[in-house]
Structure 1
């Protein structure tokens, strides 16, 4: 009855395309197939009896506690309007550089991604702040929107990323399951800190490729990215001081969060608490804190956290029913018998995740797809840190790709009416090529993701 698991997966995708809530679609479809299987006498209900223990394990999972804390940190920083002042100062400083405004947007987007870790919030914030400025500076609509969408999705891979937190937890469980399936009892797991450290070099290389593209484009086609007026030495000095003042607070917070993880002083969950508290201090320093702001941030954090955990509950029920029908064994058999070995198996998984990224958010893919394919790939010898970074970059590419990319919809919602959807599609095309190039570089040199964790934590 293994084919029932594949039918169930296809039905879930159809239900989601109909617009039903993800959490209830996952759980409802799984329970419906469990009922059908029970009536036909081909379903082992003992798998569903494991649901309470699985949910209790989620309640005691310290890693997942980082989710609401990082969400709170991102929402509070968004309210403190740090990005607005930072973008203005950096744009003036890079005014004389070809493509200076676009490069400033890329750098600020990177810092905002490292501060919030939420793709939607970063794209919307950058769209509201930088798009009017870029259009006013006579930038091409395609270049402006493409730059904002691309830098906004950096929150998917630049730590501290919510996606990496969830991927780290799921890959840890997948790694342990793969070890058990091979008869190995190894207490070591994949931590969120491993993924944070592993994502640093690929994330920074990706930002560097963005900046190089924008700089070259400004040199080749200056009419698409006009340079600003030159500043006097006195004005330049004033802008440097302003930039230092605006850059220091968020940079200090990023260093406090990531530095505490890299040095081993704090776990990612504890670092998330430091980040949340630091965000409150920054908002107070900027005089943006109030009872209403705090209430809005808490409500937004609660909504996002509830959504994440409801999806996690639905995905838990789905995965149990999927395993009850022997879906995990079927996937393992398909991958191991596939010509091309590990390379082809990873390629197929990446293509599937890329396509699913059009209709599913990273949360659903992390909780539904990764637990199915993760143990099989890890049992085949794939490095878990490398796999996690590849999945994160892959989802980031999917979020940029027309016509269903999530970041395109986020920007479309805040862009003025005279900016056409086709402008956004044309603008993101070069950045999609850069993303694919980064995936190829990471596939060719896995050490881009694995070298730094080995240096920090040891082999």
Structure 2
């Protein structure tokens, strides 16, 4: 019994891993572990029965969390846009625009994936839309199967890192940071990752031109003014919607929740303008949004139950001591954590990783002086690989469900591997060049760092406002300043 009491935290974590390997739903595995080990701790005298009295307050805290309201708003927005035909119009238009160059359709898929990511934030919607629309066309004109499937799956996962990403909302909530800061910090890495995808396709067109041919002249039906008009009418509405959602958040006009609400309203307006909004479409979008939101909240409740008991048995201290003792300091911590997250992503999706792993890693990162917004963006890029890992990547399953019979599952898996490597290169770039994640006011971040280190200057008082000079000048200036302040007070 003494050994069990001394090793309660690692036993609890090991039991959770065992439950997950047996295939139990994550939300219920988390909650069951928390309650089971809480009861064992009470029976052994390690914990007090009053521990579970904190649960109702924590669960009501989740229900009252305004930040989480952004999840159903952005999900609903993405589903409405996906079903209103925006992806189809964008792919057709940008495909015509890039058609004359080698790899044009692949470039179109990448750019449309980035635009859909900035408007929908939902991986499934992006992958399924592009798989249905662009994959048959790419195969018809002689694209390599592995390149075509890899580009579609990878471009769809850009919704993980380009705002308004759902994972960034969860990360901000778990790290105790602003969603707006997370969005701003992730924007440049998301664009750089998009550029790396484009660079890979360019490299393929140089090494193996037959893998990504240009569209033949008969397939390019739009030219000149007709193409220009089509580009304007297809691109302007989503760009306006992007500004409506992200621009207002970055400018401080709206909170992420309000931005999500405006985005959902904008998606409905776009669907009405295209005459594609029907009661059936709206009902399907609402049902899917409700299911996804319930899924997220149930996992969050389960992780709260697990976290309550885990911290009560000093599990956070166990993890902290384990990670702080790693060789290499901050760099050693980042390397080990990213390898661990990459391996766990083979078995867990990003929601599960965010709720289980991030709360354990954040205190250690904070103690090492790592900026938590930067750390959150780094983990979000790494978690993106969870959608691309063979054999369990969700993006691969989404693509398999809509791919024609000519595409084998092995083609999809082999096509995904180069893009997983590119995502890992992006992780290395963020670690090597931390300024890629830039957000907020630099002066304010420096004050927060100094406050955390205990070197923050004292608050500005009246004496810090008084100008310095000779004694006579200072006395005169002080008197004038005090009179002015008294007059303002009156």
Tell whether the 8 Å contact from 1:149 to 1:407 is kept in structure 2 after alignment. yes
1:142 aligns with 146
Give ranges in structure 1 of 5+ residues lacking alignment: 173-189
2:52 maps to 1:48: yes
The one of 265, 279, 290 equivalent to 1:291 is 279
Q: Please show how residues 72-87 of structure 1 align to structure 2 within 5 Å.
A: 72-87=76-91
Q: Deviations over 1:275-322 (max 9, x none)?
A: 010010011011111111111111111111111101110110011111
Distance in 1, Cα, partners of 2:389 & 2:32: 30
* Structure 1 Cα separation of the partners of residues 407 and 224 of structure 2: 33
Q: How many residues align?
A: 441
Residues 2, 330 of structure 1: 8 Å contact kept: no
Work out which of the residue numbers 84, 89, 96 in structure 1 matches 2:93: 89
- The residue that corresponds to 2:326 in the other structure is 338
Residue in 1 that maps onto 2:212: 225
Write out per-residue CA displacement over residues 389-418 of structure 1, whole angstroms, 9 at most, x where no aligned residue: 111100112321222222222212222222
CA shift for structure 1 position 75: 1.0
1:458: Cα distance to partner? 7.0
Are positions 1:414 and 2:402 aligned together? yes
1:434 aligns with 2:422: yes
User: Given the alignment of the two structures, is residue 192 of structure 1 paired with residue 192 of structure 2, yes or no?
Assistant: no
Work out the CA distance in 2 between the residues paired with 1:407 and 1:72: 19
CA spacing shift, 1:92–1:46, aligned 2, 3 Å: same
2:196 counterpart residue number: 209
Q: Take 1:243 and 1:229, find their aligned partners in 2: how far apart are those partners?
A: 20
**CA–CA separation in structure 2 for the residues paired with 1:110 and 1:70:** 16
Distance 2:108 2:222 in 1: 21
Worse-superposed segment, 19-28 or 30-39 = 30-39
Q: Secondary structure at the match of 2:404?
A: coil
Partners of 2:94 and 2:370 in 1: CA distance: 41
Aligned to 1:374: 362
Alignment of 1:53-202 (within 5 A): 53-172=57-176, 190-202=177-189
Q: 1:68 to 1:356 in 2, by over 3 A?
A: same
Distance (Å, rounded) in 2 between the aligned partners of 1:118 and 1:456: 34
TM-score, normalised relative to structure 1: 0.92
More deviation in 328-337 or 198-207? 328-337
CA RMSD after TM alignment: 1.8
Q: Does 1:34 align with 2:38?
A: yes
TM-score of the aligned structures, taking structure 2 as reference length: 0.87
Q: Which residue in 2 is equivalent to 1:444?
A: 432
CA contact (8 A) 1:70 1:117 kept: yes
Q: 2 CA distance for matches of 1:345 and 1:2?
A: 25
State the 1:448 CA deviation.
0.4
CA distance in 2, matches of 1:294, 1:457: 43
Question: Secondary structure of the residue that 1:47 maps to in structure 2?
Answer: helix
Q: 1:45 to 1:412 in 2, by over 3 A?
A: farther
In the TM superposition, residue 82 of structure 1 has moved relative to its aligned partner by 0.3
> Contact 1:206–1:438 at 8 Å: present in 2 too?
yes
Q: Which has the larger radius of gyration?
A: 2
- State which drifts further: 22-31 or 439-448: 22-31
Higher relative contact order (CA 8 A, sep 6+): 1
Question: What residue number does 1:181 align with?
Answer: none
Partner of 2:457: none
Q: Distance in 2 between matches of 1:409 and 1:12?
A: 26
User: Once the 2 structures are TM-superposed, how far is the Cα of residue 234 of structure 1 from its aligned partner?
Assistant: 7.3
2:11 — aligned with what?
7
Q: Secondary structure at the match of 1:419?
A: coil
Which deviates further from its counterpart, 55-64 or 222-231?
A: 222-231
Higher mean alpha-carbon deviation, 128-137 vs 140-149, is at 128-137
